[in-house]
A and B are shown apart, each in its own frame.
Chain A
Amino acid sequence: MKPFRYERANGVAAACAAAAAPGARFIAGGTNLIDLMKLQIETPELLVDIGLLPLADIIESTAEGGLRIGAGVTNSGLAADMRVRRLYPLLSQAILAGASTQLRNKATTGGNLLQRTRCPYFYDTTKPCNKRAPGSGCAALHGINRMNAVMGVSDDCIAAHPSDMAVAMTALDARLETVAPDGAIRAIPIDALYRAPGNTPHIETVLAPGELIRSVLLPPPPQGRQVYRKVRDRASFAFALVSVAVVAEREGDRVRAARVAFGSLSYKPWRSAEAEASLEGASATRTSFDAAGIAALKNARGYGHNDFKIPLARRTLRATLADAVGV
Chain B
Amino acid sequence: MAESKRADVIGLPLDRIDGRLKVTGRATYAFEYATQGSVAYGVIVSAAIGKGRILRIDTRDAQHAPRVLLVLTKDNAPPQTPWGPVDLPDRFARAEPALDTDEVLYFGFPVAFVVAETFEQATAAAAMVRIQYDPMPGDYDLHAAGPSAENPGRIDGNGPADSAVGDFESAFASAPVQIDAHYTTPHQHQAPMEPHATMAAWEGEMLTVHTSAQLTTSPQEGLARTFNTPKENVRIITRYVGGGFGSKLPYYVDATLAAIGARTLGRPVKVAMTRPQVFYTTTHRTASEQHVRLGADRDGRLTAYGQEALVHCARFDLFTEPVCDAARRLYAAPNRLTRHRRAKLDLPRSDSMRAPGEAIGLLGLECAMDELAEALDLDPVELRLRNDTSSDPEQDRPFASRHLAEALREGAARFGWNKRVAKPASVRDRRWLVGLGVASAIRGDILQSATARARLENDGKITIELAMTDIGTGSYTILTQIAADTMELPVDRVTVRLGDTRFPPTAGSGGSFGAATSGSAVLAACRKLKAGLASGMTESLGSVTPADLDEAYSHAGFGAHFAEVCVDRDTGEVRVRRMLGVFAAGRILNAKTARSQMIGGMTWGIGSALLEENHVDSRFGSFINQDLANYHVAVNADVGAMEVVFLDEADPHGGPLGSKGVGELGICGAGAAIMNAIHNATGARIRDFPATPDKLLATLETLDP
Contacts and interface: CB of A to CB of B under 8 A. Distances in A.
Interface string A300-323: 000000001001100110110000
A230 B475 CA distance: 42
B638 A234 contact: yes
B635 interface: yes
A238 B632 contact: yes
A126 B622 contact: yes
Contacts of A241: 693-694
Nearest to B630: A120
B490 interface: no
A322 B615 CA distance: 36
Interface string B47-76: 011000000000000000010000000000
Interface string A205-247: 0000000000000000000000000011111111101100000
Contacts of B636: 236
A312 B693 contact: yes
A237 B630 CA distance: 10
Interface string B228-247: 00000000000000000000
A56 B568 CA distance: 40
Contact of A312 (B120, B622, B694): B694
A88 to B, nearest CB: 24
B123 interface: yes
B635 A236 contact: yes
B354 to A, nearest CB: 19
Nearest to A290: B704
B692 A144 contact: no
Given A231-B693, A233-B692, A2 B124 contact: yes
B697 A2 contact: no
B144 interface: no
A6 interface: no
Contact of B630 (A40, A118, A319): A118
A85 to B, nearest CB: 21
B571 A312 contact: yes
B625 A120 contact: yes
A130 B588 CA distance: 57
A144 B573 CA distance: 21
B66 A3 contact: yes
A231 B626 CA distance: 22
A232 B693 CA distance: 8
Nearest to B119: A1
A124 interface: yes
Given A234-B610, A235-B575, A319-B570, A1 B124 contact: yes
Interface in A129-171: 139, 142-144, 146-147
Contacts of B573: 231-232, 235
B552 to A, nearest CB: 46
A254 interface: no
A242 B570 CA distance: 12
Contacts of B570: 315-316, 318-319
A152 B180 CA distance: 44
A236 B636 CA distance: 8
A41 to B, nearest CB: 11
A1 to B, nearest CB: 6
B1 interface: no
A233 B66 contact: no
A233 B622 contact: no
A83 interface: no
Nearest to B607: A234
A312 B634 CA distance: 22
B694 A1 contact: no
Nearest to B692: A233
A233 B693 contact: yes
Contacts of B575: 235
B571 A144 contact: no
Interface residues of A, number: 36
Contacts of A120: 624-626, 630
A32 to B, nearest CB: 11
Contacts of A2: 124, 127
Contact of A286 (B66, B610, B624, B705): B705
Contact of B619 (A143, A146, A147): A143
Interface string B603-624: 0000000110001010110101
A233 B66 CA distance: 44
A308 B697 CA distance: 8
A127 interface: yes
A123 B626 contact: yes
B697 A312 contact: yes
B413 interface: no
Interface string B273-301: 00000000000000000000000000000
Contacts of A143: 617, 619, 624
Nearest to B127: A40
B637 interface: yes
Contacts of A142: 619
B632 A234 contact: yes
B550 interface: no
Contacts of A308: 693-694, 697
B629 interface: yes
A143 B620 CA distance: 10
A151 B487 CA distance: 71
B431 interface: yes
Among A143, A235, A318, which residue has the most Cβ atoms of chain B within 10 A?
A235
Contact of A144 (B124, B615, B634, B705): B615
A126 B280 CA distance: 13
B450 interface: no
Interface in B658-705: 692-694, 697, 700-701, 705
Nearest to B124: A2
A135 B67 CA distance: 35
B627 interface: yes
Given A126-B622, A234-B632, A239-B629, A316 B571 contact: yes
Given A143-B617, A233-B611, A318-B570, A118 B693 contact: no
A212 B570 CA distance: 40
Given A235-B575, A237-B635, A319 B693 contact: no
Contacts of A38: 123
A40 to B, nearest CB: 5
A318 B700 CA distance: 14
Given A235-B637, A312-B571, A315-B571, A124 B610 contact: no
B427 to A, nearest CB: 19
B279 to A, nearest CB: 11
A253 B627 CA distance: 48
Given A234-B611, A235-B637, A237-B635, A1 B123 contact: yes
Contacts of B124: 1-3
A137 to B, nearest CB: 11
A196 B68 CA distance: 43
A239 B107 CA distance: 26
Given A236-B636, A236-B638, A308-B697, A231 B629 contact: no
B638 A319 contact: no
A306 to B, nearest CB: 9
B635 A127 contact: no
Contacts of B568: 319
A233 B691 CA distance: 9
A319 B693 CA distance: 15
A234 B635 contact: yes
A3 B700 CA distance: 52
A121 B15 CA distance: 45
B21 to A, nearest CB: 23
CB-based closest 5 A-B pairs: A235-B637, A308-B694, A319-B570, A126-B48, A236-B637
Given A143-B617, A311-B697, 6 more contacts: A120-B624, A123-B626, A126-B622, A236-B638, A237-B635, A239-B629
26 contacts: A3-B66, A120-B626, A123-B627, A124-B626, A126-B620, A147-B630, A231-B693, A232-B573, A233-B610, A234-B611, A234-B634, A235-B637, A235-B638, A236-B635, A236-B636, A238-B632, A242-B571, A286-B705, A311-B697, A311-B701, A312-B697, A315-B571, A315-B697, A316-B570, A316-B571, A319-B571
